[in-house]
Structure 1
Amino acid sequence: MGDVSYGACCIDDYTARSLGCDFIVHYAHSCLVPIDITTIKVLYIFVTINIDETHLIKTLQKNFPRGSRIAAFGTIQFNPTIHSMKDKLLESEEHMLYIIPPQIKPLSKGEVLGCTSERLDKNQIDAMVYIGDGRFHLESAMIHNPEIPAFRYDPYNRKFTRERYDQKQLVEVRASAIDKARSSKKVGLILGALGRQGNLATVENLENKLKASGRTVVKIILSEIFPQKLAMFDDIDAFVQVACPRLSIDWGYAFNKPLLTPYETNVMLENDRMFNEKYYPMDYYHIDGYGRGKSPNHEDVTI
């Protein structure tokens, strides 16, 4: 098909079906899009990457006091290692550590995505440790849990680093986008067509809410969302994208008009609580998330 696949959300069964395909083989990612809802059959091939587990264990023991409670997670390729070291560190007489693989359903225990991570209890967790290269997925947990110290173990170069995220800047930039969008009269509502990033039920829900607020809604379908593309819609005051929330969080400043996530849109419409420097939800593919066609509410989240 020649299209990009960023992750497990990019199961492009609609395009595959239109091309006359009967079967999709998706390699290396988890089963984020259930096989019972795709329009053609999908085979997920899981991949396990073996790493130096002994070095990882010794690294954690050297850097954390005995008895520390560590939320350990990573991409699905390193999931077996996370569960294996959990048992070994718990049974270690030399330097015992509590390894807690967090879970936000339907993801596996210890799995994290760039848009979806578990909200942790800062009184029960001493630190978060991400096993994997890069920061994209780790940043999801850091945004969701800004008060818990975060670390990263890169299994390829075996480096262990303290990681930080500028939550204050995130709050300022995203709050500014919401404030600008409040005065909008015409809103471009984007359905992401790259695989299963978008969700039609969420689009319809937001369309109804935006229209009820007196705004004109222009529905747009885009495979990938770039500033140059949206700049062509010069008569639209603000955009709402139902695709990947990180597009707005990471790159929203690059667009000449506000580009809101579904959650931020509900904040603008006063249907959900405002984020702050202690909390910004990252639950897009949670069982009750926007990626599932639901409309979660965060009023009861403890901050």
Structure 2
Amino acid sequence: RQVALQFPDELLADAVEVAGRMEAATGAEMYVLGDTTYGSCCVDEVAAEHVGAEAVLHYGPACLSPCRKLPVLHIFGQQPLDVGRCTEAFRELYPEQQSCVVVLYDVVYAHAMGELEQQLCSEYPNIIFSRLVYGDPPGPAVHGEEQKFGRQFLVETAGGLQDCAMFYVGAEGLALTSFMLTWNCCPFSSFNPVTGCGRRETLNVNRALMRRLYLVERARDAGVVGILVGTLGVAGYLTVLQHLRELLCRAGKRSYTLAVGKPNPAKLANFLEVDIFVLVACAQNSLLDSSDFYRPVVTPYELELACNPAREWTGNYLTDFRDLLPGACAHIELPPAVPTAEA
């Protein structure tokens, strides 16, 4: 039996001791994945397969994107959370006790959510605590159920999510930005456990969306597109790569598929012929700030907006590329190809 142990950089110092204890307790061979191929939040199936691992133990923060092959056990860790201070911050931000609020949180604070729920549920009858889920749902979603970013919750109000606010427990970062763009109809507040401060989020979602829509126009004008492979483990990545190639071919654009590991300005500056890049990565890492890059970097959803005539901007933003695949909630078929003679 062979098991891969994947640690983020900040926990690698403990890897040898953990591996030794695990081998002594289980009798299985433990392999430490010392350098992840892409983001540390994703399970690195490629490195695990190199050592013939039959399972992966993933330590630390995780995006909870489902894997293609190997069984995965997540050990998030337990960062300290002052539940009393968090409760006070929530009361200050939501003085109206009938408020409908969905509580989201970084996975490293999942251990404290039960206590926080006990503190708040008696005062706020309409509060909704999200649950962490891994993998795809077993059946069709019920009305009002949301399952994105490895979080699941049920909204039973007549107006749905538009009647709700969002409260996030965790530090500012990519996860919060993705939540805010995806659920852009909801006002957001957050509590940072490190500083002990709660606040109303001031990210101008409309401005951020306008910036993303500007990139859609850049993609529409591009002649050559570089498809950046930002994951080799998230389920469906091969299907979306093929979908993007077909999409670009139909739009009359040339494309190159590039596997460059973690993208940075220096790497991408080598491809001067490329007008724009599209990054296929997990939902948490797909929103790359490309302001320092030689060419813009867009998401698969933004490329779809640019190149699929059947897809229109509805106000709903998607960061998970799996939502675009056949059978998914946001899939839209490409229009039939026009024969060359007719064109």
Q: TM-score range by the shorter chain?
A: 0.7 to 0.9
User: Take 2:178 and 2:63, find their aligned partners in 1: how far apart are those partners?
Assistant: 19
User: Take 1:119 and 1:184, find their aligned partners in 2: how far apart are those partners?
Assistant: 41
Residue 100 in structure 1 maps to residue 132 in structure 2: no
Give how far 1:208 is off.
Answer: 1.2
Q: Is the 8 A contact 1:27 1:47 kept in 2?
A: yes
2:199 match: 161
Give how far 1:183 is off.
Answer: 2.5
State the secondary structure of the residue aligned to 1:222: coil
1:280 match: 317
Q: 1:172 aligns with which of 188, 191, 210?
A: 210
Residue 264 in structure 1 maps to residue 297 in structure 2: no
Give how far 1:182 is off.
Answer: 1.6
Structure 2 unmatched runs, 5+: 1-32, 138-144, 333-343
Structure 1 unmatched runs, 5+: none
CA pair 227-275 structure 1, distance change in 2 beyond 3 A: farther
Which TM-score applies when normalising by structure 2?
0.69
User: Take 1:246 and 1:42, find their aligned partners in 2: how far apart are those partners?
Assistant: 18
CA pair 60-246 structure 1, distance change in 2 beyond 3 A: closer
Q: 1:44 aligns with which of 74, 77, 81?
A: 74
CA pair 244-226 structure 1, distance change in 2 beyond 3 A: farther
Q: Is the 8 A contact 2:39 2:285 kept in 1?
A: no
2:184 match: 146
* One-letter amino acid of the structure 1 residue matched with residue 197 of structure 2: K
Among the aligned pairs, what percent are the same residue? 22
CA pair 162-257 structure 1, distance change in 2 beyond 3 A: same
Q: Is the 8 A contact 2:100 2:163 kept in 1?
A: yes
1:60 match: 90
Which TM-score applies when normalising by structure 1?
0.77
Q: 2:64 aligns with which of 32, 51, 67?
A: 32
CA pair 160-110 structure 1, distance change in 2 beyond 3 A: farther
Q: How many pairs align?
A: 285
* One-letter amino acid of the structure 2 residue matched with residue 99 of structure 1: I
**More displaced 10-residue stretch of structure 1: 98-107 or 203-212:** 98-107
State the secondary structure of the residue aligned to 1:252: coil
Matching of residues 128-277 of structure 1 within 5 Å: 128-193=166-231, 195-196=233-234, 199-244=237-282, 249-269=287-307, 270-274=309-313, 276=315
Q: Computing the radius of gyration over CA atoms, which structure comes out larger, 1 or 2?
A: 2
